[in-house]
A and B are shown apart, each in its own frame.
Chain A
Amino acid sequence: MAHARPKADVVVIGLGWSGSVIAEELARAGLKVVAIERGAWRDTASDFPPSVDTDELRWATRKEILQPPKLETYTFRNNASQQALPVREWSNLTLGYNVGGAGTHWAAASWRFNPFDFQPYSKTIERYGKGQLVPGLQVQDWGITYDELEPFYDRFERIAGTSGQAGVVNGDIIPGGNPFEGSRSRGYPTPPLVPSRWNDIFTEKTTEMGYHPFPVPAGTISRAYVNALGVHMGPCTYCGYCQLFGCGNWSKSSPNACVVPALMRQPTFEVMTETEVLHINKSADGKTATGVSFIGKDGVVGEQPADIVIVAAYQLDNVRLMLLSGIGQPYDPRTKQGVIGRNYSFQTLSYAYLWFENEYLNPFINTGCLAIQIDDFNADNFDHTGLGFIGGAGIQSLSNNGLPIGMAGVLPKQAPAWGKGWKKAFQHSYQNWAMIQGQGTSYAHEAMYFDLDPTYKDNYGRPLMRMTFDYNLNDKRSGEFIRKQCEAIAHAVGGTQVESYNFANDHYTPFRANDSSHTIGGVVMGTDPKTSALNRYQQSWDVHNVFVLGASSFPNNGGFNPTVTLGALALWTAKAIREQYLHNPGPLVQA
């Protein structure tokens, strides 16, 4: 007989960015909140102070704080005619596995999406007509607009301490910022970071080319800050042990540095660590959830009853938990019916790698997101007539990479990979290599989806999730268009050797160096229960006391990193629960 814990008002599955933000909101409102986190407790002083953090082998190469594939992985194939096989070793999806989730070791580029990204369907039809969409593309509006989300973006930035330069405030364009961004109600809480040498070169040349460079909003914050929850953050020291590491200075926006300290003071909150939720339990009529079943690290199974279930286990596990719990109809690519596993999208990356002749770029001075970007080719900021695709990419000069093991293979293609020649080439490349990254939009396709794998199991004998994914024609075209822009800039800035890549030209693989970790969709929000699993409040259409938070809610990906948008959506949902759902539990939108 499973051990039952006392009933809670709210159970939160996963204590990463989404889970911690909503738990704090709801516990502060007086609700009894229990979070269940698969990973262990982690905090700055106890687990990754500077005397522990500065170890590339341990954290970046062996990935010691990440969720190992051994614990749970997924199977992968490029298309439905292949047999999916398990992703056995570390892949580009470097998942979180501790209190803080991937928010502990993320790179902290802290973006708002462009207004277009929330209404890609209606805005495309309005400007270009249906012919702009390639066959099979699943493009749909989110059911929420940028303007509706703006106050929640603002609040999230005040929790995260984001450093940046506003480009548009209350409709006015501010020099030095991103003129293409959605209008903000005010500027960033902290000023932009000091740019790197590489950032400066990029700014100068792209300005000459007529583009509009601006600092990438950063959660590696430029100065000390007391956030909206009263928590103190310290200034970033540009230590360069950032992505895949915890921050030892309390300067990286993270659940650990920004949210959990305030959350832990709430008397109505508690977290069970090293405990995995197995599935969500439903009432006899299937219309509501009664709580969750979990398993502790000692293998003992228990139950946490609750009135509200918040699923915040990261995009992949969100989809898997919905499939394992039988909430919402699974997507079937043959009939195109069903919603769980539908609308999977990713991030279409293009790059130019370039080498200068005689620079001192000092790449070890960096943060996870020290970059200057242009948005001239992002979203719908340029005319797509005749191009055959929608979307684009943010194009940035990224200084986030100076650790030697990782850099040892970053050489021009013709350079020797070993021997004396390698030593010479590495010595030169280390100070002279730079990258221009096109971080592209991604739209779902009807043939790409998630379901449960028929063969491979996790350690408890339950099916792994299966990913069927390859780039679609829209990705290939937008990726190629962006690759050319990256390449042109690489030549313009004076790269004497230039290599450029459109990742979407090849089949997708989870093992590609420098690929994104941004998996998107699968339990998306929307306006129509036939094409979305959740309504605009991230509430399940089918089981009204289940809310699903994370990038799993996005019907498509913008040409940006996803986290600030999913954080803002968590705050938006928290408000809807507090102000509407608690007074009248039931669907917040009638199907």
Chain B
Amino acid sequence: MNRRDALISLVQLTALSVAGSAGASVISARTPMPVGTQPEALPKPPRKGGLAYLAADEAREVAAIYDRLIPQDELGMSASQAGCVEFIDRELAGAFGQAASVYRLGPIVPGTAEQGPQFTQTPAERYRSGLGALAGYCQAHYGKPFSALDGDTQDSLLRAMENGTLHLPAINAAAFFALLLQNVREGYLADPMYGGNRDMVGWKLIGFPGARYDYRPYLDKKGMALNLEPVSLLDGAG
């Protein structure tokens, strides 16, 4: 059969949940199917402007941390300049921040390293408590927030979190650092439609061409710099 016939017969009509079944969608050769990309499949860029989850002072601290992790230099703008704070704010407000995919039933028992994370908190909660613990530490030791410290002090604090030598009350500092680092990279390198990677700065850093889908014209240009202009999934999102 050709592709078009298959399509016409196949795209699911989600509303059609029927025919002698207990709540199931039953699909057969007789099921009429609409054509085209399903609305739920389309990219869902987060809304622009304002904060969705973080408080203003939290956003300021995240920016300070992120900009040590990915600073501005001759290779490009910093994480916050690239929109990574807006990015994580939207992520924390959404499915990721709410641990939508995570198995969270108890009992919660600490295990071996091999058994992996046994957190009770969602990523959104971990940002709140982690930032709170770090703010408390900086206040107690320096009398000011992390964002007001000089760069070297900030770096040494982050390094101590990273290697587990800094103990913050009630949170696992090393795990929080790992979460921050993972998220800042995501913001810097995900499609710009998610709020970060402004002007595709992260992609330009490494020469990644972005949302392209056909490299056949370049298969014989092996070992050569291709200098392909990156493209975003949504026009103008950058």
Q: If A46-B36, A70-B104 touch, does A423 touch B41 (CB 8 Å cutoff)?
A: no
Number of interface residues of A (CB under 8 A): 113
Contact of B233 among A45, A54, A457 (CB under 8 A): A54
26 A-B contact pairs sorted by A residue (CB < 8 Å): A45-B35, A51-B233, A52-B37, A55-B211, A61-B186, A76-B114, A78-B112, A82-B112, A83-B109, A194-B219, A261-B6, A265-B9, A273-B27, A275-B25, A362-B223, A362-B226, A364-B215, A365-B218, A404-B206, A418-B181, A419-B68, A419-B69, A420-B73, A420-B75, A423-B71, A430-B206
Residues A1-29 near B (CB distance < 8 A): 2-3, 5-6
User: Smallest distance from the beta carbon of B117 to chain A beta carbons, Å?
Assistant: 6
Interface code A501-516, partner B: CB below 8 Å = 1, 0 otherwise?
A: 0000001111100000
Q: Which residues of A contact B207 (CB under 8 A)?
A: 430-431
Q: Is the interface of B mostly helix, strand, loop or mixed?
A: loop
Interface code A247-266, partner B: CB below 8 Å = 1, 0 otherwise?
A: 01110000000001110111
Interface code B204-238, partner A: CB below 8 Å = 1, 0 otherwise?
A: 01111111111110111111111000000100000
Cα A90 to Cα B101 with chains together (Å): 8
In the complex, number of A-B residue pairs with CB atoms less than 8 Å apart:
288
Cα A62 to Cα B97 with chains together (Å): 11
Q: Is the CB of A296 within 8 A of B116?
A: no
Q: Is the CB of B191 within 8 A of A271?
A: no
Cα A361 to Cα B3 with chains together (Å): 35
Interface code A462-480, partner B: CB below 8 Å = 1, 0 otherwise?
A: 0000000000000000000
Contact of B27 among A70, A264, A294, A359 (CB under 8 A): A264
User: Smallest distance from the beta carbon of A307 to chain B beta carbons, Å?
Assistant: 19
Q: Which residues of B contact A272 (CB under 8 A)?
A: 21, 24-27
Q: Is the CB of B189 within 8 A of A427?
A: no
A357 close to B (CB within 8 Å): no
Interface code A37-64, partner B: CB below 8 Å = 1, 0 otherwise?
A: 0001101011111111111111001110
Interface code B1-27, partner A: CB below 8 Å = 1, 0 otherwise?
A: 111001101111000000011111111
Interface code B115-133, partner A: CB below 8 Å = 1, 0 otherwise?
A: 1111100000000000000
Cα A420 to Cα B151 with chains together (Å): 12
Q: Is the CB of B29 within 8 A of A85?
A: no
Residues A164-207 near B (CB distance < 8 A): 194, 196-197, 200
Q: Which residues of A contact B21 (CB under 8 A)?
A: 3, 5, 272, 275, 296, 302
Residues B65-108 near A (CB distance < 8 A): 68-71, 73, 75-76, 95-96, 100-105, 107
Cα A78 to Cα B111 with chains together (Å): 11
Q: Which residues of B contact A296 (CB under 8 A)?
A: 21-24
Q: If A271-B27, A299-B23, A418-B68 touch, does A423 touch B103 (CB 8 Å cutoff)?
A: no
A137 close to B (CB within 8 Å): no
Q: Is the CB of A232 within 8 A of B2?
A: yes
Q: Is the CB of B215 within 8 A of A360?
A: no
A336 close to B (CB within 8 Å): no
B60 close to A (CB within 8 Å): no
Cα A439 to Cα B179 with chains together (Å): 30
Q: Is the CB of A427 within 8 A of B206?
A: yes
User: Smallest distance from the beta carbon of A462 to chain B beta carbons, Å?
Assistant: 12
Residues A189-241 near B (CB distance < 8 A): 194, 196-197, 200, 230-232, 235, 237-241
Q: If A46-B36, A404-B189 touch, does A455 touch B22 (CB 8 Å cutoff)?
A: no
Q: Is the CB of B11 within 8 A of A45?
A: yes
A424 close to B (CB within 8 Å): yes
Q: Is the CB of B215 within 8 A of A240?
A: yes
Cα A2 to Cα B111 with chains together (Å): 40
Residue of A nearest to B185 (CB): A408
User: Smallest distance from the beta carbon of B145 to chain A beta carbons, Å?
Assistant: 20
B165 close to A (CB within 8 Å): no
Q: Is the CB of A359 within 8 A of B223?
A: yes
User: Smallest distance from the beta carbon of B102 to chain A beta carbons, Å?
Assistant: 5
Most buried by A among B111, B116, B207: B116
Q: Is the CB of B27 within 8 A of A41?
A: yes
Q: Is the CB of B116 within 8 A of A89?
A: yes
Q: Is the CB of B212 within 8 A of A239?
A: yes
B146 close to A (CB within 8 Å): no
User: Smallest distance from the beta carbon of A364 to chain B beta carbons, Å?
Assistant: 6
User: Smallest distance from the beta carbon of A385 to chain B beta carbons, Å?
Assistant: 34
A541 close to B (CB within 8 Å): no
Cα A423 to Cα B82 with chains together (Å): 14
Closest 4 A/B residue pairs (Cβ): A296-B23, A302-B22, A298-B23, A41-B12
Interface code A408-431, partner B: CB below 8 Å = 1, 0 otherwise?
A: 110000000111101110110011
Q: If A231-B6, A408-B189 touch, does A267 touch B212 (CB 8 Å cutoff)?
A: no
Excluding A62-B96, A82-B112, A302-B23, 19 further A-B contacts by CB distance (< 8 Å) are A43-B7, A52-B43, A54-B211, A70-B102, A76-B114, A85-B109, A85-B116, A88-B117, A200-B222, A232-B1, A237-B216, A265-B1, A272-B27, A273-B27, A405-B190, A408-B185, A427-B206, A430-B207, A431-B207
Q: Which residues of A contact B (CB under 8 A)?
A: 2-3, 5-6, 36, 40-41, 43, 45-58, 61-63, 68-70, 73, 76-78, 82-91, 194, 196-197, 200, 230-232, 235, 237-241, 248-250, 260-262, 264-267, 269-275, 294-302, 359-362, 364-365, 402-405, 407-409, 417-420, 422-424, 426-427, 430-431, 455-457, 507-511
Q: Is the CB of A273 within 8 A of B189?
A: no
B155 close to A (CB within 8 Å): yes
Cα A87 to Cα B37 with chains together (Å): 34
Residue of A nearest to B221 (CB): A362
Interface size classification for chain B: 35 or more
Cα A233 to Cα B185 with chains together (Å): 36
Q: If A69-B103, A85-B115 touch, does A237 touch B209 (CB 8 Å cutoff)?
A: no
Q: Is the CB of B103 within 8 A of A87?
A: yes
Q: Is the CB of A69 within 8 A of B102?
A: yes
Residue of B nearest to A296 (CB): B23
Q: Is the CB of B185 within 8 A of A405?
A: yes
Q: Which residues of B contact A364 (CB under 8 A)?
A: 208-209, 212, 215
Q: If A82-B112, A265-B1 touch, does A239 touch B117 (CB 8 Å cutoff)?
A: no
Contact of B20 among A6, A48, A52, A90 (CB under 8 A): A6
Q: Is the CB of B1 within 8 A of A3?
A: no
User: Smallest distance from the beta carbon of A544 to chain B beta carbons, Å?
Assistant: 28
Residues B137-190 near A (CB distance < 8 A): 155, 158, 162, 181, 184-186, 189-190
Contact of A46 among B26, B38, B71, B221 (CB under 8 A): B38
Q: Is the CB of B181 within 8 A of A417?
A: yes
Q: Is the CB of A57 within 8 A of B102?
A: no
Cα A297 to Cα B194 with chains together (Å): 30
Q: Which residues of A contact B3 (CB under 8 A)?
A: 232, 250
User: Smallest distance from the beta carbon of A106 to chain B beta carbons, Å?
Assistant: 19
User: Smallest distance from the beta carbon of B61 to chain A beta carbons, Å?
Assistant: 16
Q: Is the CB of A231 within 8 A of B213?
A: no
Q: Which residues of B contact A194 (CB under 8 A)?
A: 219-220
B56 close to A (CB within 8 Å): no
Q: Is the CB of B114 within 8 A of A507?
A: yes
